[in-house]
Amino acid sequence: MKLLAGKTALITGASRGIGEGIARKFAEQGANVAFTYARSAEKALALAAELSALGITVKAYQSDAADYAAAEQLTEQVVQDFGRIDVLVNNAGVTKDNLLLRMSENEWDTVVDTNLKSVFNLTKQVSRIMLKQRSGSIINLSSIVGMKGQAGQSNYAASKAGIIGFSKSVADELGTRSIRCNVIAPGFIQTDMTDALGETLKAEYLKSIPMKRLGTAEEVANAALFLASDLSSYVSGQVLSVCGGMNR
Ligand code: NAP
């Protein structure tokens, strides 16, 4: 029996990287998958076509996770198309790194809106559906940077720390209706986001990872599969680090 058979998942930002890995893993495990992207239409449509061949329903939606009204419209559309939402993965995220004294208001706002406000936007809309269903699993992508901070990433660290407090509060509010809310805090994962760091910085970061390698999107997706499935039916309000031992 596939772990997510009969469940519908909505994943934000699944055209590339970790979100794509989660969409693939969920589809392989029998879930119907609705996912969003911001700009990568070609990649998103190709992924939807590829995963549909597994015999499940898959649909890609262009939707800006930072936009409150767009999240409302998206949720309505997904419910029309799929009938229900059992799992929400708030994965969409960006970086705009800069030292505090050089950081512009736009760099702050873009990162906080895309990474943190988006989690409020989608969780609020989807929780209405889950409340009616009296079940659901919400998984929010934070980062170990949200727990320990990182020079040049005060905007990103603030957004990722905010996700943890938000998720623990949601787990507290919605637990009585069997809606669980958990956080995944990846370390350094091989995606476009970490490719942008450049080889010198990456080599420096590698020294601080006990396992001495970057993680893969699939390794994060395996944690998401656990939190999405009934294997984690009594797990809520938790932060699961997927970081090769960095966060101890
Ligand atoms: P990525 O490779 O840069 O992919 C980002 C994804 O988010 C893309 O699908 C992108 O869509 C989408 N996206 C960006 N802005 C969006 C918006 N406003 N609305 C909807 N979708 C949007 O990033 P990643 O490395 O896979 O990271 C995924 C998540 O994990 C992020 O929240 C990130 O902060 C977190 N994380 C990553 C790492 C890491 O080492 N990679 C570590 C810790 C945490 P388009 O393709 O259309 O642009």
pLDDT in tens, 86-144: 999 999 999 999 999 999 999 999 999 999 999 999 999 999 999 999 999 999 999 99
Looking at residue 199, its pLDDT comes to 87
Give the contacts of 180 (CB within 8 A, at least 6 positions apart): 136, 137, 138, 171, 174, 227, 232, 233, 235, 236
pLDDT of residue 97: 96
Per-residue pLDDT reduced to its tens digit, 197-218: 888 888 888 999 999 999 999 9
Q: How many CB atoms lie within 10 A of CB 165?
A: 12
pLDDT in the model for residue 202: 87
Q: Which residues are catalytic?
A: 156
Contact between 90 and 125 (Cβ < 8 Å): no
Spatial separation of the C-alpha atoms in residues 179 and 184, rounded to whole Å = 17
Measured by CA distance, the residue closest to atom 18 of ligand 1 is 64
Q: Cα of 91 to ligand 1 centre, how many Å?
A: 6
pLDDT of residue 236: 99
The CB of 220 under 6 Å from ligand 1? The reply is no
92 close to ligand 1 (CB < 6 Angstrom):
yes
pTM of the complete model: 0.98
Determine the average pLDDT of the residues in 157-186. Answer: 98
Cα→Cα distances 72→42, 68, 75, 76, 123, Å: 24, 7, 5, 6, 10
Question: What is the rounded CA–CA span in Å between residue 241 and residue 142?
Answer: 9
Model confidence at 68, pLDDT cuts 50, 70, 90, reads very high
With 0-12 / 13-18 / 19 or more C-beta atoms within 10 angstroms meaning exposed / middle / buried, residue 97 is: middle
Higher pLDDT, 165 or 199: 165
The pLDDT score that the predictor gives to residue 1 is: 87
Place of tokens 């760091």: 197
**Cβ atoms of residues 11 and 44 within 8 Å:** no
The alpha carbon of 17 and the centre of ligand 1 are apart by a number of angstroms equal to 7
Q: Which fold has domain 8-242?
A: Rossmann fold (3.40.50)
Q: Where are the domains of the chain?
A: 8-242
The overall average pLDDT reported for the chain is 97
Q: What percent of the chain has pLDDT over 70?
A: 100
Collapse the DSSP code of 83 into the 3-class scheme (helix H, G, I; strand E, B; otherwise coil) and give the result.
Answer: coil
